[in-house]
Structure 1
Amino acid sequence: MLSLLKAAWIIPFCFSSLPTALCVPFNSKARSPPARDFFPRGLRVGTELDTETGDFASFTLDDTSLIATLDYGTERGGYPFFLVADVSQPVQIEVKYSESFVGLAQPWADGPYPFSTGLANSYRVETFNVTSPGRITAPLIQGGQRWESIRLVTSGSITFETIGLEATVDTTEIEDFPGQFSSNDEQLNSIWKLGAVAASTACVEEGTQLATWEIDPVTGAFIRSQRASQTLAGPLYSDYTLSFDTMIDRGGVWWAMAFPLARGEGLQLQLISDLPEGSTFANVNKTQTPANSVLLSYGYDFVNQTTLTSYYLDTFAVPFAVAEKTWHHVTTALSPGGRLSVSINGQVVVDISITDYWTPAPVSFTGSFGFGAWQDQAAYIRNVSVSDTINGTVIYTNPMTSVDVLAEYGTQTNLGSVCLDGPKRDRLVWLGDFYHTARIIGSSTSRFDLTKGTLEFFLRTQIANGEMNIAPPMGYDPSITAPFTPFGSYGLSDYQLLGLDGVHSYIRQTNDLGFLRETWPQWKLLVDWTIGKVNSTDGLIYVPSAFLGPSQAGSAVSCLAVQALQQLSELAQAVGDDTSKSRCDAAAQALSDAVNRQLWNEDLGVYSLSTSDKGNFSVAGIAFCLASGVSTQHQTARALAALDGLSLSPGYKDSTAASSTDPTVVISPNTNGFLLDALFKSGAYTTGHQLIKSLWGTMVNNKQTSSGASWEYVDQSGNPGLSYFTSLAHPWGGAATYVLTEWAAGIRLGPGPEGFGYKHWIIAPEAGLAMGLQTASARVKTPAGFLAVEWTKSSKDEVTVRIDAPPATYGTFKFGNETKSLCGQIQYTLVRKISS
């Protein structure tokens, strides 16, 4: 397709830089106008990038003002659009998107992101050719950004009236969230917003993340700027030959083979066109993608991006011009013994042994295949067939001309309202990460519909033994599970346990017992699964793999399992399943006893990493053994003292097995978030306060790296921990949000099923006072209305606490040694003397 436009404008928008290029109006997105757009809050126009922006106004780029820096103020996401008021001649603009300002200076901004397709642009740089005034809307989502830059890459001038994002996430401003927190400490107020913003941008409604491929009944699938998306049909194809027809609309076409389904490393190939002058962008790197060539790599992509390692293997010249807008037939054969060959229009271009190239591990010729397009590329795919390389038997055919292709290749509009790992990267529905997200939602956005939608999405992926897909993609039907099971999608067994906290949080916050009763048979499968992982010899948890620590006889996973069983017991009680409650209670107690018997290290005063590694310990092990109540008061005090052995500015390293002198060791706000919650539950308010300030403070202190949302990792200098790859809107890093609500302001759910839906609530300002706060307030949404607290410390060493309570609920006020029942009113005022 040669042009893009917004349906309401019907304005030609050409990819060619020449006035004579063919321009065809095309409605690239049949979507309704968004309820609201996001607009930049700051603008700077000049010759270089600059964080010091002024108010946004219409502006012009020309040979004296080549680049504009735009600041949205906080994390946003959607379809970029540009309202062009005037253009002197056809010009090209290069647009970069980044969560951090510093990412704008990089060749690929803060991308690319080939870990998953994510129903978004895999690249953070895109180029537009503009020939006339009007509104231009990018065809693919940019999932999350704070910063944007626009650079003029050709001669001429262009004037922009408006720039923004057609919102694909909740547009509610943070000050309008149902949940709120405030105090006299402005840094803490900014920190509270981090998790709230991350959750609001990482959670998306059904139908908002639109299909990324366009299907034409004649020309097939039109694909651009997206990592190769794989078919569900051939997850275990081996030694096969893939054939297809392609018409390159611009730049080239990408296909992947022997690729583990949905994510992972595989063979990547690109066919580059003859890059004609009339339709090739001025900023194309022709050294990296030379004209008339086939590129071969192994891994995720053709370039490295931090943890997504790619191994560029070779470039092969095509001995003829690969014309654009002309159909070409491509055949790629994977043969036994590691032979790979590629033919273009019947002419062999590649014929190699893959073993002649260095890769970190032997390259498998087994796995799915798929199609994509590299940055700023676009191509059509049709008439796909796969045959057995040995005997020629045809095992797959698809003309690629039916919309059913979108479901098969996982590029259809999102099927559920779900919460993602992060809005810009790893745009998958991660089970374990939802632990923090669900609690953040209860303290801030109150989008319980998205919490419920996420849980429903996970349940649709459940297999017979009770396990759920730990990271289902949005674009595939989650109920189609078989193709995903061989490739680690049901790995990281502790994510099953972390996921249980999500349903427990949802039921506690909403008291949605109808949903719980309806889905209880599925949650009961996880009761059986969890109890079944208890080893009969030592009584500890043994699972195939784990994220938080050793998977066999480890303190983190075993104590997490205790917590999960306790939560399942509460849920069983709520639905009247006494048998399951008794099983969970007995299993939790037995496992707790085994942990203390097998893993408590009296010499170190802490829980050992595992029975096979008694000398090391971890943040997660301490966090879950304390939070679950496994530890005694004596053990809790000693374990808190042992934290010094994990201290590594600006937080705590994951375990003592990680070297404190290795500058590449990063700090995880995820695991530190588990610890933060445990610190406050254990009364270690000063330590918890210090951790909030030091770790989460880094996320708000530096304008060049701040996104307004919580980060995935932090390095020892207080910068994003995985360089530009780091997700800077990751709800798993936002635990400080709910901890500040629950402890600094002191507004919490009552214990057990009686507390579900805040039928019983707790107000306790003691932790906030211990943090040195003078005032604090918070509000949460309950099924019966809002519950709010505001307390103020006076110069008389008194604290005045005002509570607004929903009707037909009751509360408990806790202060020092006092416990006071509150019932029968909707407003309370209490004044208490603060002990010296």
Structure 2
Amino acid sequence: MAKHLDFTIPGSLPRPLYQNHAFGRDEIPEHLLPTKIHSTSGSVTSADALLTRSLTETLVLTRTSALASTPSVIADFGFAVAGIPFIHVSAIDAPGGSVVVDFAVSEGYPGIKLDDGDGPYPFSAGADTSRKARFRINHIGYHDAKYIQGSQRWMKITLVSPGPCSVTIALAGFLPATSNVPVDRLPGQFECSDSSLNELWGYGARTIQLNCAPVRTIPPPWQVSEDMGILVDSQRCNSYGWGGSWTDYEAEFDAMVIEGGLAWTVRQGGGMPSILFQLVTNEKATVTEMWWGYYNKQQTTLVPVLLASAEISTLVGQNEWYRIKTRCVGEEPFVISINGTEVATFKQGNVKAEGMSLIAVSVTNSNYPYVPKGSVGIGAGADQVCRFRNMLVRSVPSQQVLYASGLNTPAVLSDFGVGWNQFPFIFDGAKRDRYPWAADIITGGKTLYYSTAGSEYVRGNIVASMLRCKASKKTPGLLPGGAPPGTDFNRSGDSMFTILSVNYSLYLILVIYDYWMFTGDNDLLRLCWERIEGCLEYCKQKLNEDNLIHVMGMDAGDYDYYNGLQQGVSTKRNALYVAVLRACSKMADSEAIRDPLTAAALQSFADAVAKAIVDKCYNPSNGYFNITDTRTTGFQQETHAWLLRLDIVPPELKKKILPHFASLCTASHNSAPLSFSPNTTNPSPPPVISPIMSAIHVDAAVHAGDEHSTVEKYLRRVWEPMMDKDSEHFTGTTWEFLTAQGKPYKGDFCSYAQLFSCGPTWLLSAHVLGVAPLKPGFEQYRVWPKLRLAGVSWARGTVPTPVGPIDVAWEEKREGWRLSIKAPRGLDGVVVVPDEVWDRKKEIIVGAADVNGTKELEVGRDGVLEVTVTF
């Protein structure tokens, strides 16, 4: 009997804590506490008490006078965590018996040195707008913040009350909002002989954990009471969902300042910055301010701009109700009145812009957008606490009531899209945007399937988008790029909560296809199909005479907003279109849809579009493909990755294309590829290392047969800065984007736990371990460890499937190569022996016998196979 090589892989994989749920059934939530005290400032006693769970060991912060420095402590959790901030107070010593304690957070260390942490982040209501929770403490015991902080390694506790005062704290940390199962106990697992790659796989899995929000776990940013209306504490304005088409109107409401002031918006468009009014109060004056932006606190991008301000002659006091009215008519100045008296007028903008073009406007206090229509929103600015009730919006001049509400029942949360999340969601970034964007799941979804197996989160995103979509073959339209997490899906027809573009629609279809392949969920495919057909019909209407999509403006929007819109005929967009047509062909031919004629037509048209891309988008003088029909200088990483991955590039061009990727690596700190070559013009994009583009690039390079050593350089060098445990930016998660110097791009604004960047987890499981589905739900699968990395002599792991795990292990040593597989019974599997192994073989042993034949070997229906290739 033939004898297999012995495995010499040390130890064994830990047993998964759970199999199929992203929040483990046996996972007991417990307070997340810091693991290390980094530093203290001012009068701080026994800071190490925060590292224990004991209520008898305590930290004391003391401020002897108003002139004394504010005492604070910075604590380190070791890696990024998520949850609702809490503290346990054991004693208060202060005049009046109350103190104010700030609890600031940051992903990277630079942000925690700032008073407000690394925020604010006002784009979405999916978490706290501020990165600082303010505790106003007047009793001992537990104190919880109102909102989630989605991702942070660092915490700073500061006593901000003027002295003399002190506060004694036993515990400070987070009530967990996401799963914290150790990454080596997840349903999906990966391990190899290179420990750094094992850690990288885990960083992607941890990123997925932080971004998965179970149903009804995201608290609304407003608290509603029957007699006192809405309470808002430092949270961005949120707008009424059915006011996006309002033009001329008067909006009024009762408002109460509890601390600092209040905020409201007019003519606000879905997802876009807008005119923002602030009422700022103190003991000496009341000022009305007009801003452009989302919030009144500086941030790195979408920077708010103070346009004008006016002091009000009558002082607005705290804890009193005032009636505030704003009139906006045509291009006339905004008129603000309080209790029936006009207090301020502000001229409207001079730049005509709408939709995504608003983001591109260079705003100053003399040059800012005029927005002709949009809704009304209410909220607060930084360190402001306020209440609202009795809102009334009337059109001008007809005085028709557009909206009326006492703002005192839970239904108002649905009116403004800020309720509890009705579906489990997977977000783009745990800190920001906290939005279920479709594009991010292109890489994040695959990483989820290979690690946490929490497919219900991807399903939640897809269903939410489908419920907000009215497209069909008869009424062509785009698919939503995502849905605000607080949306009430029992309602429909809103004009505020949908952002549409061709690329995001194409991404969503690919996300649906991947979900179907990994889960076999035919029910979801049936739910989506009519909308998908409507989107395909819309894209068909955007074809030019060459059968290539040509779009402008908002239709051309993409996730790399910082690189500018790719308007006109974008090569990347049309490559995505080919991918979608092929995916839809397979879905149409499935048991769920059963439309073979449509399947054949889609496949044929995909071939025609692919040919048109080669004929019309390839630039022979450059030796690569154009970015768009008007941007012909510069090599784009992602465009060519998609072209290679989809085999659009014919074999004779492939050898010409692959060397051009080296031009991306000439201007970065460690030769990691930039998104565009440095010579790119019209316009010249910023030098950015994009992990999502690089993940697609690595996948394409493996598929195209690029040199293993070249692919390995891309993989290691892009993610190398995130793996540096000595870096002040290390979080044990993966970052959104990087500068050419390997730092987080846009500083603290950068999301350090971002789906864009978790691709290595999927890539290692799919190409080094080698497992991938060939038919929906792994009904047929393949094991092909085709990416060879230096120093990796063995790998083992588990890939979750809907019917149970697939366990794979392989090892290569001097005398040969061995692979072992154990899969669920009843599946069809195939093992592909890597070329480099096959080329060295002397004999091959399969099961209990020597065999001859090809390098592709069938796995029996019992799911068990042992293969040895001797050298």
TM, length-normalised to structure 2: 0.84
Instruction: Report the counterpart of residue 805 of structure 2 in structure 1.
Output: 786
Going from structure 1 to structure 2, the CA distance change for 1:659 and 1:721 (only over 3 Å counts) comes to farther
Q: Which residue of 1 aligns with 2:60?
A: 61
Deviation track 1:398-440 (CA, whole Å, cap 9, x = no partner) reads 2212221110011111121121121221122212222112111
Structure 2 equivalent of residue 3 of structure 1 = none
Give 1:672 shift.
1.8
Partner secondary structure for residue 396 of structure 1:
strand
How far is the alpha carbon of 1:695 from its aligned partner? 0.9
Q: Which of 710, 714, 718 is equivalent to 2:738?
A: 714
Q: How is 1:363-512 mapped onto 2 (pairs within 5 angstroms)?
A: 363-390=370-397, 392-464=399-471, 465-478=476-489, 482-484=493-495, 489-512=498-521
Deviation at 1:188, TM superposition (A): 1.5
Match of 1:733 in 2: 757
Which deviates more from structure 2 when the two are superposed, residues 496-505 or residues 327-336? 327-336
Code of the residue aligned with 1:334 in structure 2: it is C
Give the drift of 1:382.
Answer: 0.9
CA contact (8 A) 2:676 2:685 kept: no
Q: How far does residue 804 in structure 1 lie from its aligned partner after superposition?
A: 2.0
- Which of residues 729, 740, 743 is equivalent to 1:705? 729
Seen in structure 2, the aligned counterparts of structure 1 residues 517 and 390 have a Cα distance that, compared at 3 Å, is: closer
Range with greater deviation from structure 2 (401-410 or 342-351):
342-351
Q: How many residues are matched?
A: 776
Alpha-carbon displacement from aligned partner over 1:770-808 (angstroms, at most 9, x marks no partner): 4441222221111221112122232x1522222222211
Aligned residue for 2:689, secondary structure, equals coil
Q: Which amino acid aligns with 2:859?
A: L
- Cα pair 2:50 2:170 within 8 Å, conserved: no
CA offsets per residue over residues 138-182 of structure 1, 9 Å max, x none? 011212222111122234333322222222223333222111111
Change beyond 3 A, Cα 1:97–1:392: same
Q: 2:625 aligns with which of 604, 607, 610?
A: 607
| Partner SS, residue 805 of structure 2 | strand
C-alpha separation in 2, matches of 1:495 and 1:348: 45
User: How far, CA to CA, are the matches of 1:517 and 1:94 in structure 2?
Assistant: 50
CA distance change for structure 1 residues 371 and 583 in 2, over 3 Å: closer, same or farther?
Answer: same
How far is the alpha carbon of 1:456 from its aligned partner? Answer: 0.9
Q: 1:112, 1:123 within 8 Å by CA — same for their partners in 2?
A: yes
Q: 1:667 to 1:99 in 2, by over 3 A?
A: same
SS at match of 1:629: coil
Give the 3-state SS of the residue equivalent to 1:689 in structure 2. helix
Q: Per the alignment, do residues 92 and 797 of structure 1 end up closer, same or farther by CA in structure 2, a change over 3 Å counting?
A: farther
| 1:730-776 alpha-carbon deviations (Å, 9 max, x no partner) | 112211110011112222223xxxx32222222223413x4441222
Q: Provide the rounded CA distance (Å) in 1 between the counterparts of 2:39 and 2:460.
A: 42
Following TM superposition, by how much is the alpha carbon of 1:441 offset from its aligned partner in structure 2, in angstroms? 0.9
- Cα displacement string for residues 51-107 of structure 1 (whole angstroms, at most 9, x for unaligned residues): x99991344133499322222232222211112233333332221111112111124
Of 245, 258, 261, which aligns to 1:236?
245
Between the aligned partners of 2:180 and 2:292, the Cα distance in structure 1 is 40
Cα distance between partner residues in 1 of 2:278 and 2:467? 35
Match of 1:580 among 589, 592, 598: 598
TM superposition score normalised by structure 1: 0.87
User: Is 1:669 matched with 2:686?
Assistant: no
Cross-structure match for 1:133: 140
Cα distance in 2 for residues equivalent to 1:820 and 1:54: 59
**Residue 394 of structure 1, CA deviation:** 4.3
Query: Are 1:212 and 1:223, in contact at CA under 8 Å, matched by a contact in 2?
Result: yes
Q: Which residue of 2 aligns with 1:27?
A: none
Counterpart residue number, 2:326: 332
2:51 aligned partner, one-letter code = F
Q: Which residue of 2 aligns with 1:652?
A: 673
Q: Give the stretch that moved more between structures: 688-697 or 83-92.
A: 83-92
1:264: how far off? 1.2
Listed one character per residue, the Cα deviations across residues 474-531 of structure 1 (whole Å, up to 9, x for unaligned) are 112357564437x9x4432111111112111111111122332344333333343444
List alignment gaps of at least 5 residues for structure 2: 1-26, 64-69, 351-363, 839-854
Contact 2:480 2:504 in 1 (8 A): no
Give distance in 2, aligned partners of 1:352 and 1:804.
71
Q: SS of 1:376's equivalent? A: coil
CA contact (8 A) 2:334 2:345 kept: yes
Q: Secondary structure at the match of 1:407?
A: helix
SS at match of 1:145: strand
For 1:632, which of 647, 650, 666 is the aligned residue? 650
Hey, what's the Cα distance between the residues in 2 that align with 1:658 and 1:387?
Answer: 54
The residue that corresponds to 1:562 in the other structure is: 578
The answer to whether the 8 A contact 1:191-1:697 is kept is: no
> 1:359-406: CA deviations, max 9, x gaps?
544322521111101223221101112234546554432221222111
Q: Distance in 1 between matches of 2:636 and 2:765?
A: 26
> Is residue 109 from structure 1 mapped to residue 125 from structure 2 by the alignment?
no
| Residues 44 and 516 (structure 1), Cα distance of their counterparts in 2 relative to 1, 3 Å cut | same
Counterpart contact for 2:571–2:627, Cα < 8 Å: yes
CA, structure 1 residues 533+351, in 2 after alignment: closer, same or farther (shift >3 Å)?
closer
Q: Please say if residues 72 and 157 of structure 2, whose CA atoms lie closer than 8 Å, have aligned partners that are also in contact.
A: yes
- SS across alignment from 2:235: strand
1:121 matched to which residue of 2? 128
Partner in structure 1 of residue 353 of structure 2: none
Encode CA deviations 1:230-273: one digit per residue, 9 max, x unaligned.
00232122232221111122221111112113x21211111123
Partner of 2:156: 149
Aligned partner of 2:103 in structure 1 is: 95
The 3 A distance-change label for structure 1 pair 294 and 636 is same
Residue in 2 aligned with 1:191?
Answer: 200
- State the one-letter code of the partner of 1:180: Q
User: Could you say what secondary structure the match of 1:149 adopts?
Assistant: strand
The 3 A distance-change label for structure 1 pair 74 and 391 is same
Q: How does 1:749-760 map to 2 (within 5 A)?
A: 749-750=773-774, 755-760=775-780
Q: Secondary structure at the match of 2:237?
A: strand
Q: 1:620 aligns with which of 621, 638, 645?
A: 638
For the Cα contact (< 8 Å) 1:442–1:448, is it kept in 2?
A: yes
Query: Is the CA contact (8 Å cut-off) linking 1:599 and 1:614 kept in structure 2?
Result: no
**8 Å Cα contact 2:43-2:71 kept in structure 1:** no
Identity of aligned residues (%): 23
Q: Tell me whether 1:830 sits opposite 2:848 in the alignment.
A: no
Report if the CA contact (8 A) 2:633-2:679 is conserved: no
**Number of the residue aligned with 1:348:** 342
- Deviations for 1:114-148, whole angstroms, at most 9, x for unmatched residues? 22222x21001232232332000001121222211
C-alpha distance in structure 2 between counterparts of 1:481 and 1:604, whole Å: 49
Tell me the equivalent position of 1:286: none
**Alpha-carbon distance change, 331 to 56 in structure 1, aligned in 2, over 3 angstroms:** same
- Greater displacement, 346-355 / 584-593: 346-355
Question: Which of 295, 305, 313 is matched with 1:311 structurally?
Answer: 305
Distance 1:34 1:272, change over 3 A: farther
Distance 1:336 1:582 in 2: 52
- What letter corresponds to residue 575 of structure 2 in structure 1? C
Gapped runs of 5+ residues in structure 1? Answer: 1-32, 276-289
Q: 1:28 maps to what in 2? A: none
Is contact 2:251-2:391 (8 Å) kept? yes
Give the direction of change, closer, same or farther, for the CA distance of 1:656–1:218 in structure 2 (3 Å limit).
Answer: same
Bigger drift between 707-716 and 344-353 goes to: 344-353
Give the drift of 1:810: 3.2
Residues 530 and 772 (structure 1), Cα distance of their counterparts in 2 relative to 1, 3 Å cut: farther
Q: 1:506 to 1:394 in 2, by over 3 A?
A: closer
Corresponding residue SS for 1:484: coil
